[in-house]
Each structure stands twice: as C-alpha cells, then as structure tokens.
C-alpha cells in the first residue's frame, strides 16, 4: 500500500505513451503510490458500447485522484460505424467519457495553466502566464439537445418566446437545438475559484470572458454573478470581455492576461488558444477538480496516428503530473518536477518533433527524470 492511491487511465492513442512518461518521473521522485488501472476509451466503446465502463467508475470511487492520458472522441455517426456489429441498433450511444467523468464526479473546476517556459522556441512571446478557469459541468456540455425537434418542445418554446416562431417554416425535422444551460451556483463557484487563485498567487486582475451582449441570459448571468463574487475581493480587479474580442487580444497582447474565467464551451476554446501561445497542446496541462476528487489530464487529444510511437511531446503530461502532485499536497515534489521541466526546456537539447527536435517522448521524460 502506497501513501496515495491513484486511478491510472491511459485511454487510447498516445495516452499510453505519455502515461509511461508520467510514471518515469513519478518513480524518480520517489512518489509513494499504489496505481489502480482503469479501462477507458475507444476500445471499450467498440467492444462493449461504453467508453467509460461501470467498473472504471466504481474503481474511481476508491482512489484519491486519477491521472488520465487521452481518448479518441468522435461525432455520432462515426462512433456508430465503429461499434461492434453485434451491439449495433441496441441503443448504445457514444458519449465522451471525459465529459461524463467531469459531470458524474462533479469536477466543476477545470484549471488550465499556460505558461511560457523560457527557451521554448514555440512561445509566441516571453512572460506569458495565463491560467484559464473553465466551468466544467454545464453550459453547452450539459447534453440537453434535440434533433429532430419534438413538437412539444417547439410549442413550449414558441409559447414562451416569440422569437421561436421564426424557425417554424423550416420544419421540425430540419431543426436541431443544443442548449446552453447555466446556473448561478456554478457561475459563482468557478468565478470564486478564479479569484481565490488570483489572491493566493498575487495576481491583481481576473478576466471574465463571455458574450453577454448577445447571449443576454446565460452570458448575462455569468457576468452579473462575477460582479457579485468580485465584491469579496476588493484588491483584485474584475475585467469583463467578450469572447471574440478576447481571442484577438490574446494573440495581440498575450502577456496582459493572467487569470481568466469562462463557462464550459468558451473555456474550451479559450484554453486551446492560450495553449498555442506557449507552444501548443504539447505543453497544455489540466486538472478537472471537484470538492474532494480530481482527474488530471493533458489537454491534448489521442493523436491515434502516433499511437505507440513515443513521438508526441510529453511535457503536457509531465506538467499535468505536477498539477496532480500539488493537489495531493506534495508541494516539494511538484516544485522539483516543474524546475526540472523548465530546465530541460531552457537547455533545448532534448526535444520532440513539435519543438524542432527528433527525440522521443521517453527521451524527454528521461531527461527530466535525470534532473530530479
């Protein structure tokens, strides 16, 4: 029995490659843990019709937190086409397992740091230090969608909002609706977590990003709630921006933003944009954090074409591992790991293809491990 009990979910594609890298540095750090494997990903969708089998959910209830590699996720038709023929037409529906995990375990706060480590040739600019707080359970990820549009839903909407009538002539079979449901509670919680982080790390401003001029109700709720929360932090400025303009400003002045907060979908987009400013998805770490459980995952996808080739940059996974150590209150190990990562980047000797090098993922992990 180790000191910590960690759910270990490589997933598919390059998930396994980068998880192996995480293990190299954890072992070198002397991290005392028991690792419990969890089945998750495309393989289980194809064979069982469930990318997140119940046994994995049960396992996750027994661990302190989990580390997750990557998974393939596809739109409906493509997913159906890959399902085991024996399971077809039996009502199996593909849901992204990571989105399910976030909702099932109420991992409401997705923290995505994007920091320009000195010497990274892929940095857009020096001194970029952005952390995106993304609401992780609601908004357009709520899964409340309709297609074709049931008559009852149409009539209810039309009765309550005259703007709905405009769509009637298209015909119900030609209308698709994805909802964006947001609650005051979740808005308050994510904004509060962003402010708390700003306070603890001496940042002077929190930027709330939405589009309240058009999305008057959901965007409006987010911004109005942020104003209320901000009153509890009189020393920290609340800045309000629109997602479209913010995308432009992030490219123009990436060093002027530090703590950013957004609902689920805007946070998803914003965090990919912020990641690209500091080297792309090869450097993008993230933590899905709830009240007493968390799942840590690099932001990148599964890149199936590189599966098993140890080609992708494991830095995102190593930085994710650092976040997990912090969450587990292994602050010394976390600091040591980040310093080693920073040094390998600064030296620029060992690097994967995205950084213009030809080293493998394992070479990078070993170079980091050597400094620990």
Q: Which residues bind ligand IPM (CB under 6 A)?
A: 73, 96, 98-99, 268, 299
Nearer to ligand IPM, 73 or 359 (CB): 73
Residue 271 CB, nearest approach to Mg ion (Å):
6
Nearer to ligand IPM, 180 or 351 (CB): 180
Region label for 329, one of left (φ > 0), alpha (ψ between -120 and 50) or beta (otherwise): left
Sequence-distant (6+) residues with CB within 8 A of 115 are 128, 129, 130, 278
* Position 263 contacts Mg ion (CB under 5 A): no
Residue nearest Mg ion, CB atom distance: 268
Nearer to ligand IPM, 68 or 197 (CB): 68
Q: d(Cα 315, Cα 298) in Å, to the nearest integer?
A: 9
Residue 268 CB, nearest approach to Mg ion (Å):
4
Cβ atoms within 10 Å of 76's Cβ, excluding its own: 10
For tokens 């709330």, name the residue: 208
Contact between 352 and 313 (Cβ < 8 Å): yes
Q: d(Cα 242, Cα 220) in Å, to the nearest integer?
A: 11
Residue 108 CB, nearest approach to Mg ion (Å):
17
Which option in ligand IPM, Mg ion, none does residue 366 bind, with CB closer than 5 to 8 A by kind? none
Residue 99 CB, nearest approach to Mg ion (Å):
10
Residue 272 CB, nearest approach to Mg ion (Å):
5
Which option in ligand IPM, Mg ion, none does residue 17 bind, with CB closer than 5 to 8 A by kind? none
Residue 272 CB, nearest approach to ligand IPM (Å):
7
Q: d(Cα 56, Cα 192) in Å, to the nearest integer?
A: 31
152 to 140, 149, 156, 157, 214: CA distances (angstroms): 21, 8, 6, 9, 26
* Residue 349 DSSP code: S
Which option in Mg ion, ligand IPM, none does residue 96 bind, with CB closer than 5 to 8 A by kind? ligand IPM
Cβ atoms within 10 Å of 79's Cβ, excluding its own: 20
Helix (H) or strand (E) holding 37: strand 33-37
Residue 165 CB, nearest approach to ligand IPM (Å):
33
Q: d(Cα 144, Cα 146) in Å, to the nearest integer?
A: 7
Region label for 293, one of left (φ > 0), alpha (ψ between -120 and 50) or beta (otherwise): beta
* Position 268 contacts Mg ion (CB under 5 A): yes
* Position 138 contacts Mg ion (CB under 5 A): no
Nearer to ligand IPM, 97 or 254 (CB): 97
Which option in ligand IPM, Mg ion, none does residue 103 bind, with CB closer than 5 to 8 A by kind? none
Residue 276 CB, nearest approach to Mg ion (Å):
12
Nearer to ligand IPM, 233 or 306 (CB): 306
Sign of CA dihedral 310, 316, 317, 318: positive
Sequence-distant (6+) residues with CB within 8 A of 340 are 25, 368, 369, 371, 372
Q: d(Cα 57, Cα 242) in Å, to the nearest integer?
A: 37
* Position 297 contacts Mg ion (CB under 5 A): no
- Name the segment binding Mg ion (CB under 5 A); options: 179-187, 267-275, 305-313, 334-342: 267-275
- Name the segment binding Mg ion (CB under 5 A); options: 9-17, 164-172, 268-276, 319-327: 268-276
* Residue 51 DSSP code: S
Nearer to ligand IPM, 73 or 192 (CB): 73
For tokens 């400013």, name the residue: 277
Which option in ligand IPM, Mg ion, none does residue 242 bind, with CB closer than 5 to 8 A by kind? none
The residue count of the chain comes to: 372
Nearer to ligand IPM, 72 or 360 (CB): 72
Which option in ligand IPM, Mg ion, none does residue 33 bind, with CB closer than 5 to 8 A by kind? none
Residue 1 CB, nearest approach to Mg ion (Å):
36
Q: Which residues bind Mg ion (CB under 5 A)?
A: 268
């Amino acid at each position: 029995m180790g000191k910590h009990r960690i759910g270990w979910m490589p997933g598919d594609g390059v998930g396994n490659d980068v998880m192996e890298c995480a293990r190299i540095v954890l072992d070198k750090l002397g991290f005392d843990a028991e690792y419990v494997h969890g089945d998750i990903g495309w393989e289980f969708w194809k064979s069982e019709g469930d990318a997140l089998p119940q046994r994995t959910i049960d396992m996750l209830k027994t661990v302190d937190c989990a580390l997750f590699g990557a998974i393939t996720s596809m739109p409906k038709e493509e997913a159906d086409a890959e399902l085991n023929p024996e399971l077809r037409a039996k009502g199996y529906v593909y849901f992204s397992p990571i989105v399910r995990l976030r909702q099932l375990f109420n991992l409401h706060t997705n923290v995505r740091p994007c920091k320009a480590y000195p010497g990274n040739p892929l940095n857009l600019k020096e001194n970029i230090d952005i952390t995106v707080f993304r609401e992780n359970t609601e908004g357009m990820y709520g899964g409340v969608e309709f297609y074709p549009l049931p008559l009852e839903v149409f009539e209810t909407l039309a009765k309550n909002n005259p703007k709905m009538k405009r769509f009637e002539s298209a015909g119900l079979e030609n209308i698709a609706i994805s909802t964006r449901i947001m609650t005051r509670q979740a808005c308050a919680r994510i904004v509060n977590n962003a402010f708390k982080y700003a306070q603890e790390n001496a940042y002077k401003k929190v930027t709330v990003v939405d589009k309240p001029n058009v999305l008057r109700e959901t965007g409006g709720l987010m911004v109005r709630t942020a104003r209320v929360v901000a009153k509890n932090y009189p020393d920290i400025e609340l800045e309000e921006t629109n997602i479209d303009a913010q995308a432009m400003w992030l490219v123009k002045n990436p060093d002027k933003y530090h703590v950013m907060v957004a609902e689920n979908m805007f946070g998803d987009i914003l965090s990919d944009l912020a990641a690209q400013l500091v080297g792309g998805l090869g450097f993008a770490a993230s933590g899905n954090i709830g009240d007493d459980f968390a799942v840590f995952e690099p932001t990148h996808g599964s890149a199936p074409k590189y599966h098993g080739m140890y080609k992708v940059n494991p830095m995102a996974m190593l930085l994710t591992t650092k976040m997990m150590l912090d969450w587990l209150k292994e602050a010394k190990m976390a600091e040591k790991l980040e310093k080693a990562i920073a040094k390998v980047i600064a030296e620029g000797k060992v690097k994967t293809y995205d950084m213009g090098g030809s080293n493998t993922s394992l070479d990078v992990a070993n170079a980091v491990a050597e400094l620990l």
